[in-house]
Amino acid sequence: MKKQVQIKTLQIEGQDVSATGEQTILQVALENNIQIPRLCYVEGLSAVGACRLCMVEVKGGNRLLPACVTRVAEGMEVTVFSERLNAYRKLVLEMMFSERNHICSVCVVNGHCELQTLAMKHGVTHITVPYLHPRVAVDASHERFTLDHNRCVLCARCVRVCAEIEGAHTWDFKGRGIETRVISDMNEAWGDSETCTSCGKCVHVCPTGALFEKGKSVAEMSKRKQYLPYLTMMRDEAKA
């Protein structure tokens, strides 16, 4: 027997949309060209709900819900942009800028950075909290790529793309809280990694300049986003 697809109708930002019951608010919004701010989400990778930028309001509840992992429901009324949500997003972005050393003017992805773009869209003209200025390292041991922890926002895109698509699981995290760091293998230098296939997927899903190709100078590195849709295809193939 063929599984029946349940169709739900709902409203996102006042727009009537339809969806299958399996879809998330974010997926449906994107289908209908409603851009919900997001950073850790990449289509094709598992959603983790970590950046909290895609939080939306759903009528009838005071709780904010992350659009990337919240399934649609019949008659839902979703608000994506409100004063409250914008204020939270702005503050969350400030949190990201303050926790590491993001200096756009000397960054390889200046002008092509998702964090920078989000900050501009949300009017983050300055940071109201003190910068934490942590001393963090740069790992340039890989022959083609560099990992600069100063620009990492711990979105886990690299971790997920490596484990879920490439199947290498070179990246993971160590530490906790503010001390959390992306590590390769068992916290070894990237260049010494025995699992890394040097495929470069992590570099191109990275939203900031934390992962970049060597030989690129300020503002020269743009991520090849055009290949991202293939992630979904590869994932579906792997499932089938």
Q: Are 79 and 13 in contact (CB under 8 A)?
A: yes
Task: Please report how close the Cβ of residue 62 comes to another protein at its closest, in angstroms.
Answer: 9
User: Tokens 């290498």 appear where?
Assistant: 168
**Nearest alpha carbon to residue 52 among 99, 96, 89:** 89
Figure out which of the listed residues 107, 153, 205, 231 binds another protein, where binding follows CB under 8 A: 153
Q: CB of 204 within 8 A of CB of 227?
A: yes
Q: Which of 11, 23, 43, 71 lies at the binding interface for another protein (CB under 8 A)?
A: 71
Rounded least distance, CB 169 to another protein, Å: 12
Q: Are 72 and 10 in contact (CB under 8 A)?
A: yes
Tell me how far, at minimum, the Cβ of 13 lies from another protein, in Å. Answer: 19
Q: Which two tokens stand for residue 19?
A: 């969806």
If binding is defined by CB under 8 A, does position 60 make contact with another protein?
no
Binding to another protein (CB under 8 A) within 127-146 occurs at 128-130, 132
Q: Closest distance between another protein and the C-beta of residue 91, in Å?
A: 5
How many residues touch another protein under the rule CB under 8 A: the total is 34
Q: Which residue has the tokens 């998702």?
A: 114
Phi first, then psi: give them for residue 201, nearest 5 degrees.
-60, -40
Which tokens is 220 given?
């020269």
> In this structure, are residues 21 and 83 in contact, taking their beta carbons and an 8 Å threshold?
no
Binding range to another protein, per CB under 8 A, among 12-20, 91-99, 136-144, 195-203:
91-99
Nearer to another protein, 173 or 227 (CB): 173
Contact 37, 223 (CB under 8 A): no
Comparison of 145 and 207: residue with beta carbon closer to another protein: 207
User: How many CA atoms, within 13 angstroms, populate the side-chain half-sphere of residue 59?
Assistant: 11
Spatial separation of the C-alpha atoms in residues 70 and 8, rounded to whole Å? 14
Does the protein bind another protein through residue 88 (CB under 8 A)? Answer: yes
Nearest approach, Cβ of residue 175 and another protein (Å)? 7
Specify the stretch interacting with another protein by CB under 8 A; choose among 74-82, 88-96, 135-143, 215-223: 88-96
Binding site for another protein (CB under 8 A): 48-52, 55, 63-64, 66, 69, 71, 87-88, 91-92, 95-96, 98-99, 128-130, 132, 153-154, 156, 172-173, 175-180
